[in-house]
Structure 1
């Protein structure tokens, strides 16, 4: 810096005397020289290192020397200038076969691949991070590729775990309220709990769960357990009902509804030809409609038109509060303004919904009113999504109980209206268009712009509370509490990414199954359509896997006295215990009967059965393993004898982990037949081979050219022999179940694993009513002793004890 000539120095005082004015031209010229020198120092490299060599280690990539795109954007031009001095680039080699096979139009390729198995809106995101399975006509994310198991449980128990349940199909039913209730009485029963017409559900502020049966066939003919909610309306005569059904039972439930209301199909599914639309849940294609002759009842299929996400964990409220912001008056779009002006109550409704949203920051989901349905209009989730993943936290506060019932029409939302849902999906701005506008108009990257609030429309959603475990007998209190979010088509990926960015962890279908075990919920009941389909699918998979092994690696289940290692033959078991001729069974759902059975198990010494249960019924139970070992998903439950009970008490007193009983080796009745079949089969194949050899030699003796003979026809013989051998090794249908082993079988374990919430092995199972009566009668003589059963894994000979308890919520 140059010193101005007008400055003078006072020697006596040792100070510099400042001039009366500043010479502007000289001052600016000095600053320009400084800036020029600074710029030259920055742009001129003093070292011999290239740009890609000066990057920190965590930013370096192996291919960046010849591929500029591997460098950060601000360094690419400098890198290309440096590399251009090295001479012309060498001609690139031919692209790899993988690159050449890439489709020219990805959308068309996606459309082709979704014809056999449908994709969820989040499919491409999941396919990069999850093992995908082809289940029930969908590509389902099954388990994450990073092999975390406990981490997902910890997220659901202590933080927030999110799943995509968009494959659950929706059904909309509209008609006279009283007529709908009268008809649904033919498919439901009050013995199973609250029905569709319960007062707590009629306002539409709560979601309910019911078991549906075939018309007039209760307790037999169970279809599935479905969730439902009424659309809030001031019209008490005509109401609308939404149902959500698992895809395994969707078609059967729909056909039963068509038969119940005597409906006819009045419109067909017309898919859009635009590949951009068909690759996501297409809401504005015409869904199949069904009406009766009087047009008083209308059923519409909502399958694949709504996205449903499930958040589980105490931080679910904080994640929702951070990722989903309610839309204020200033951010209303045209469709929302028209919707609000139609009804004067809408402003008050929106204010009440915003009040509830504000309380989410300070509360756990288990503190909310159970199964509450809350409508919310949120700003586009892409506007407030954080750049990096952030954890959401909530603060404990003594907020008064949430007044969901007091606030009327709190579940009102434009998402109930099909026309509004279609318009929202059609007018949605794509992410590419939004990013293009941001590049043009956004001043500071990563910040919200004014044009976003004007151009992006609000999104209507529904929030559905889930209370989780309501007692300590079903696991940890409040475990499994969270929220379900219903989002219109097109916005699934936007909401999904916002939830992940705000701290929730993604989970797959396996995590849902394991967490249902933690809260003692059976996903597929054995007497429902879903349960029967899933059981037959698992049977085929397990049998195929079993017979792919070599014979010396297969477990001989006949010698272990196991007749059905991969299925649950409840029909045969009930038939043998009740000496019945009919081949049918059902799961007991009568709440009063289950309560009475629970009391019987608590006090077997006061055994007095003053209520009736059908012999065709199987009782749902919870199993707690008292010894080491896991029985697996196909373990058997047996009736103990007196000496087994005494042996169990002795081992318990000695704190011993030895088995109560070891199953003796059984004879394989089909062993000789299998060996004889194998001998004759090998003999036949050898004879056929010799015949072909003789034929070829005979032709070669007279031929001058190369001789060819017809292909062998032994393939069909080998397949037939293999199927017959499989039937001898492991019959498809069990003929003897009750007395298959040394102890009488009274039930099966349908789901069993180590419970992280209880710290021990537990499971879910079903036992016959007659077998339970004998069990209680036997323990009547042992006062003060809680009844237990003998359990055994299908691949083990050891019997251990297991305590049982009745599951009231099936």
Structure 2
């Protein structure tokens, strides 16, 4: 009864007596047109024979259109009028791994807008985890657990890295103009050798230049190599090996360079100076470890028997007699000809015998005559050397006949100019023995890479390059006071945050205790808030540490007992009662995972600069963000000499 009464109280509306179909269809015309179009072209990217139901499909329909229904035959003919459509299927891996296809893929990767490949990319991509950094595909770390083995190789044998992604600029002009420009961009407090030092101007030693703005804001670091005078034209023509050229004509070798020799862009200025970008013209390897000199003496075979550089390299296989950043230049034979058939290692007794003879004779290799062998910096010579390279197939065929059958004439390879730059070691660092930087012309990366690998060196990635510095990390890691360093820090922080948030809730990093300035974002270094709490004005400034306007400094932390500082660990003052005080800095990402062979861990941190001048600040407390336990550590300030 209640529902009936409510229904009766509802207002009644008159229903329409008729419907105008014309108006109804016109109002729905757009919807009907869209529906018809969707029904007609629901298979936009397929052939007409693929639109048929499964029970009407035939395998020979593409060859015999009469097997299709009559209404679909005109559409089929229009689709096959210009031939069958191109297959969009990806080629098989067997086809893509062919030698000529790999070379074409490498050359295609050198185009603008795509991540570039190193010459050793094909070797690294099978064995390393690759990352895209600075528009390069760079090997980051080995697929195996190689962290301990790489550290052991740098301490006991040799560790090899490919640094060809480093930029290289050639500045040409008069000596006065070049020195004037370098004085304007060099930081005044830089403690390394000045560009106008006699050893630098003569091309005997290299130097590190800290580039800064007029307001002394650091931009980055650059290694400076000076070429005193250009190469004479007769020496340029002498590099055109007549024997190699005649062999190329006689055997009809394919002169297809790998990679393709590209023209380097050049920028000219009104004062007679010009800058040439050589990032596509040079290959750079770094070999670190106590056996690095011995390995290079085996791989680099000089053209001249009495070559002074080769004799000095052989006479001091430990590399201790060379000055830091010394430059050695030589012209060597093709290393593929003397490459061993299987992997070998340099024995300790061979190094001891050579060093004993050198010590008994009283010889010294601190000063090696360089001469005028700067042919690697000449563009014509680099292009000739890249084009005259003998193909790997011919070298392997010659080696096979020589080793198995004992027949075949002697193979005369191309003369290759190389440059060696000495890297000093540090007893407190990752590699105390130092090593060498090897500079090669374009296209000769794998020709030197494989002989070095076959002499037993360990291969490392960018992770090892970042950790093998002398206590201070390489650019841009650890340089948060410059634009490149800030970008690097933001990239690492975002990557850590994304990786941690992808994990389940119970597997994420659990931050314990008072986070202090990092309460808002525990993955970020709060340098600005740290400086503000200590009354320091302005943006963070670290480099160089000897500058009076630097408000952050690098320090070395040596743990007094057990404990291992992790990344982003807090560094606090130690109160008189042994309790933790105010936060003064944070552990950096470098050096916190290896020790100093004394059972105690060593780490490097950035702390506030105003506290380091106080004599009572020699011990601090370190706490990881995942625990509430504080560990005592000894604090030691680093100077610019540690760079």
TM-score range for the pair, normalised by the shorter chain length: 0.7 to 0.9
Instruction: Pick closer, same or farther for the CA change 1:490–1:449 going to 2, 3 Å.
Output: farther
CA deviation vs aligned residue, 1:177-222 (integer Å, no higher than 9, x gap):
12211221121134221221122211101111121112x121x2x1
Alignment of 1:144-293 (within 5 A): 144-193=142-191, 194-214=193-213, 216-218=214-216, 220=217, 222-233=218-229, 277=257, 280=259, 282=260, 284-293=261-270
Alignment of 1:626-645 (within 5 A): 626-644=560-578
- Residues in 1 aligned to 2:373 and 2:343: alpha-carbon distance in whole angstroms: 32
CA deviation vs aligned residue, 1:740-790 (integer Å, no higher than 9, x gap):
xxx4221111132232544321111111123445xx37x3xxxxxx72112
**Aligned-pair distance for 1:642?**
2.3
Q: Corresponding residue for 1:803? A: 634
- Residues in 2 aligned to 1:411 and 1:142: alpha-carbon distance in whole angstroms: 38
1:803 alignment partner, SS class? strand
Instruction: Pick closer, same or farther for the CA change 1:449–1:570 going to 2, 3 Å.
Output: farther
**Aligned-pair distance for 1:404?**
5.1
Q: Does 1:572 align with 2:572?
A: no
- Paired residues of 1:212 and 1:225 also in contact (CA < 8 A): yes
2:472 alignment partner, SS class? coil
1:586 alignment partner, SS class? coil
Query: Which of 504, 510, 520 is residue 471 of structure 2 equivalent to?
Result: 520
Instruction: Pick closer, same or farther for the CA change 1:747–1:434 going to 2, 3 Å.
Output: same
Instruction: Pick closer, same or farther for the CA change 1:227–1:446 going to 2, 3 Å.
Output: farther
- Residues in 2 aligned to 1:148 and 1:505: alpha-carbon distance in whole angstroms: 9
- Paired residues of 2:573 and 2:584 also in contact (CA < 8 A): yes
Q: Corresponding residue for 1:534? A: 488
**Aligned-pair distance for 1:173?**
0.6
Q: Does 1:355 align with 2:311?
A: yes
Q: Does 1:380 align with 2:314?
A: no
Instruction: Pick closer, same or farther for the CA change 1:800–1:179 going to 2, 3 Å.
Output: same
Q: Corresponding residue for 1:70? A: none
1:637 alignment partner, SS class? strand
Q: Does 1:468 align with 2:425?
A: yes
CA deviation vs aligned residue, 1:89-111 (integer Å, no higher than 9, x gap):
xxxxxxx9965884784444444
Instruction: Pick closer, same or farther for the CA change 1:622–1:760 going to 2, 3 Å.
Output: same
Instruction: Pick closer, same or farther for the CA change 1:323–1:555 going to 2, 3 Å.
Output: closer
- Paired residues of 1:192 and 1:590 also in contact (CA < 8 A): no
Instruction: Pick closer, same or farther for the CA change 1:420–1:286 going to 2, 3 Å.
Output: same
- Residues in 2 aligned to 1:559 and 1:548: alpha-carbon distance in whole angstroms: 23
Q: Corresponding residue for 1:422? A: 383
Alignment of 1:55-94 (within 5 A): none
- Residues in 2 aligned to 1:160 and 1:103: alpha-carbon distance in whole angstroms: 31
1:465 alignment partner, SS class? strand
Gaps of 5+ in 1: 1-95, 236-273, 330-349, 594-612, 645-659, 662-742, 780-785
- Paired residues of 1:404 and 1:410 also in contact (CA < 8 A): no
Query: Which of 434, 439, 445 is residue 486 of structure 1 equivalent to?
Result: 439
Q: Corresponding residue for 1:788? A: 619
User: Number of matched residues?
Assistant: 509
Q: Corresponding residue for 2:392? A: 431
- Paired residues of 2:536 and 2:551 also in contact (CA < 8 A): no
Q: Corresponding residue for 1:458? A: 415
**Aligned-pair distance for 1:359?**
2.3
- Paired residues of 1:754 and 1:760 also in contact (CA < 8 A): no
Kindly name which structure, 1 or 2, has the bigger radius of gyration based on alpha carbons.
1
Write 1 or 2 for the structure with the bigger share of helix. Answer: 1
- Residues in 1 aligned to 2:393 and 2:230: alpha-carbon distance in whole angstroms: 42
Q: Corresponding residue for 2:554? A: 620
Query: Which of 752, 759, 769 is residue 599 of structure 2 equivalent to?
Result: 759
- Residues in 1 aligned to 2:565 and 2:396: alpha-carbon distance in whole angstroms: 54
- Residues in 1 aligned to 2:405 and 2:534: alpha-carbon distance in whole angstroms: 69
Instruction: Pick closer, same or farther for the CA change 1:629–1:312 going to 2, 3 Å.
Output: same
- Paired residues of 1:366 and 1:468 also in contact (CA < 8 A): no
- Residues in 2 aligned to 1:303 and 1:549: alpha-carbon distance in whole angstroms: 40
- Residues in 1 aligned to 2:96 and 2:311: alpha-carbon distance in whole angstroms: 51
Instruction: Pick closer, same or farther for the CA change 1:123–1:97 going to 2, 3 Å.
Output: closer
- Residues in 1 aligned to 2:432 and 2:513: alpha-carbon distance in whole angstroms: 42
Q: Corresponding residue for 1:413? A: 374
- Residues in 2 aligned to 1:226 and 1:401: alpha-carbon distance in whole angstroms: 34
**Aligned-pair distance for 1:131?**
2.0
Q: Corresponding residue for 2:61? A: none
Q: Does 1:744 align with 2:582?
A: yes
Q: Does 1:768 align with 2:599?
A: no
- Residues in 1 aligned to 2:313 and 2:562: alpha-carbon distance in whole angstroms: 47
Query: Which of 583, 586, 589 is residue 544 of structure 2 equivalent to?
Result: 589
- Paired residues of 1:372 and 1:464 also in contact (CA < 8 A): yes
2:173 alignment partner, SS class? strand
Gaps of 5+ in 2: 1-89, 232-253
Q: Does 1:320 align with 2:158?
A: no
- Paired residues of 1:208 and 1:229 also in contact (CA < 8 A): yes
**Aligned-pair distance for 1:141?**
1.7
CA deviation vs aligned residue, 1:587-642 (integer Å, no higher than 9, x gap):
15254x7xxxxxxxxxxxxxxxxxxx44x511211111223332212112122322
Q: Corresponding residue for 1:299? A: 275
Q: Does 1:550 align with 2:504?
A: yes
Instruction: Pick closer, same or farther for the CA change 1:445–1:169 going to 2, 3 Å.
Output: farther
- Residues in 2 aligned to 1:500 and 1:103: alpha-carbon distance in whole angstroms: 22
CA deviation vs aligned residue, 1:114-137 (integer Å, no higher than 9, x gap):
652211111111122222222222
- Residues in 1 aligned to 2:280 and 2:406: alpha-carbon distance in whole angstroms: 34
- Residues in 1 aligned to 2:299 and 2:97: alpha-carbon distance in whole angstroms: 36
Quote the RMSD (CA, aligned, Å).
3.0
- Residues in 1 aligned to 2:407 and 2:161: alpha-carbon distance in whole angstroms: 28
**Aligned-pair distance for 1:494?**
0.9
Instruction: Pick closer, same or farther for the CA change 1:106–1:488 going to 2, 3 Å.
Output: closer
**Aligned-pair distance for 1:794?**
2.1
**Aligned-pair distance for 1:326?**
0.6
Instruction: Pick closer, same or farther for the CA change 1:135–1:234 going to 2, 3 Å.
Output: closer
- Paired residues of 1:373 and 1:410 also in contact (CA < 8 A): no
CA deviation vs aligned residue, 1:282-320 (integer Å, no higher than 9, x gap):
5x31111111124x1010011132111111112112211
CA deviation vs aligned residue, 1:470-515 (integer Å, no higher than 9, x gap):
xx5x359x81411111111111101111111123222222222333
- Residues in 2 aligned to 1:234 and 1:400: alpha-carbon distance in whole angstroms: 36
- Residues in 1 aligned to 2:632 and 2:466: alpha-carbon distance in whole angstroms: 25
